[in-house]
């Protein structure tokens, strides 16, 4: 039985957030798969907080009642605390920490998993590593370079997923693109549950270096990625946060009636409204 009250979502300065630990996230996914009910597991970090300022598809996907948006990064934990939402380090779930446990659960449960995303080379190397590490996992993959104006290739990929009937679909097309593609195809993919996984396969394949896990716990993964690949990440980590902070200041200046209006289009779901800027008590830290 699925009890959504056990995993409430909150209004985080206009964004949706569902604080969950890793175990809670896996129980949530298991309950939906067992009930043949579709859910979407999405993530939110500072980059996502910036993307949502202009990307309507990301906002629409996150606002669906079957979408759960976990915290990806310590800055989001801090923002939750600023907003009066109870959040701890255990609520910070980064993909490189939970993807392998998820795949192991899928193998144990006998789930079929479909992964879409990445280049053909990265996907080949990553899938080989997965099969070496978890040989009993039922896995099918498709590269992520099929988005084109006519949509014919996308339709073929969707049909392949439907024919495969996976319990879990992992979509790694990059933030913004993956949310738009999921939103366009969500109904036809039901009851398959969907997880957004960004550049997941790059880390599995070793094409991108994985930050030391202590840096993740300390909230310093961004620094590792910035020094590892400054050309790719300088704007994301050095510029985007300032736009997010400016938006938060503007949002906080709005009267409550205006904020309530911004929550009105969360489809058939009532978001929990946190205590206004109330800090989380020390017992939760």
Alpha-carbon span 82 to 54, nearest angstrom: 23
pLDDT at 146: 85
Residue 215: is its pLDDT beyond 60? yes
Residue 278 lies in a domain: no
Cβ atoms 107, 81 nearer than 8 A: no
Total structural domains in the chain? Answer: 1
Cβ atoms 84, 279 nearer than 8 A: yes
Residue 176 lies in a domain: yes
Q: How confident is the model at residue 266 (pLDDT cuts 50, 70, 90)?
A: low
Q: Which residue has the higher pLDDT, 268 or 233?
A: 233
pLDDT in tens, 35-73: 999 999 999 999 999 999 999 999 999 999 999 999 999
Q: How confident is the model at residue 272 (pLDDT cuts 50, 70, 90)?
A: low
Cβ atoms 222, 144 nearer than 8 A: no
- For the residues 237-259, what does the mean pLDDT come to? 91
Q: How confident is the model at residue 283 (pLDDT cuts 50, 70, 90)?
A: very low
Phi, psi for 145 (deg, rounded to 5)? -100, 65
Residue 284 lies in a domain: no
Q: Which residue has the higher pLDDT, 146 or 63?
A: 63
pLDDT in tens, 159-185: 999 999 999 999 999 999 999 999 999
Residue 85 lies in a domain: yes
pLDDT at 217: 74
Cβ atoms 107, 132 nearer than 8 A: no
Question: Which parts of the chain are beta strand (E)?
Answer: 10-12, 15-17, 40-44, 67-71, 112-117, 138-142, 168-172, 193-196
Cβ atoms 37, 74 nearer than 8 A: no
Alpha-carbon span 208 to 199, nearest angstrom: 9
DSSP 225-247: HHHH-HHHHHHHHHTHHHHHHHH
Range with lowest mean pLDDT among 3-7, 99-103, 142-146: 3-7
- Average pLDDT over the chain, rounded to whole? 88
Residue 16 lies in a domain: yes
Q: Which residue has the tokens 């738009």?
A: 180
- For the residues 259-274, what does the mean pLDDT come to? 62
Residue 225 lies in a domain: no
Residue 234 lies in a domain: no
Take residue 56 and report the two structure tokens written for it. Answer: 């309507």
Residue 115 lies in a domain: yes
Domain that holds residue 24: 4-210+255-273
């Amino acid at each position: 039985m699925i009890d959504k009250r056990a995993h409430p979502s909150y209004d985080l300065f206009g964004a949706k957030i569902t604080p969950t630990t890793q175990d809670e996230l896996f129980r949530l996914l298991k309950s939906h798969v067992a009930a043949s009910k579709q859910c979407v597991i999405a993530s939110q970090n500072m980059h996502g907080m910036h993307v949502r300022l202009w990307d309507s598809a990301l906002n629409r996907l996150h606002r669906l009642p079957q979408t759960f948006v976990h915290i990806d990064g310590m800055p989001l934990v801090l923002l939750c605390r600023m907003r009066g939402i109870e959040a701890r380090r255990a609520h910070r779930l980064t993909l490189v920490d939970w993807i392998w446990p998820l795949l192991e659960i899928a193998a144990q449960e006998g789930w079929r998993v479909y992964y879409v995303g990445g280049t053909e080379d990265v996907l080949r190397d990553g899938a080989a590593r997965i099969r070496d590490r978890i040989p009993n996992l039922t896995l099918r993959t498709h590269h992520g370079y099929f988005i084109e104006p006519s949509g014919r290739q996308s339709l073929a990929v969707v049909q392949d997923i439907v024919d495969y009937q996976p319990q879990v679909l992992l979509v790694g097309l990059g933030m913004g693109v993956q949310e738009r593609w999921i939103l366009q195809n969500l109904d036809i993919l039901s009851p398959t549950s969907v997880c957004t996984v960004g550049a997941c396969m790059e880390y599995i394949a070793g094409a991108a270096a994985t930050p030391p896990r202590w840096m993740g716990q300390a909230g310093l993964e961004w620094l590792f990625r910035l020094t590892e690949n400054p050309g790719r990440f300088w704007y994301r980590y050095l510029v985007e946060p300032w736009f997010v902070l400016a938006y938060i200041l503007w949002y906080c200046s709005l009267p409550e009636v205006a904020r309530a209006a911004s929550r009105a289009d969360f489809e058939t779901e009532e978001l929990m409204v946190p205590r206004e800027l109330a800090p989380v008590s020390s017992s939760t830290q």
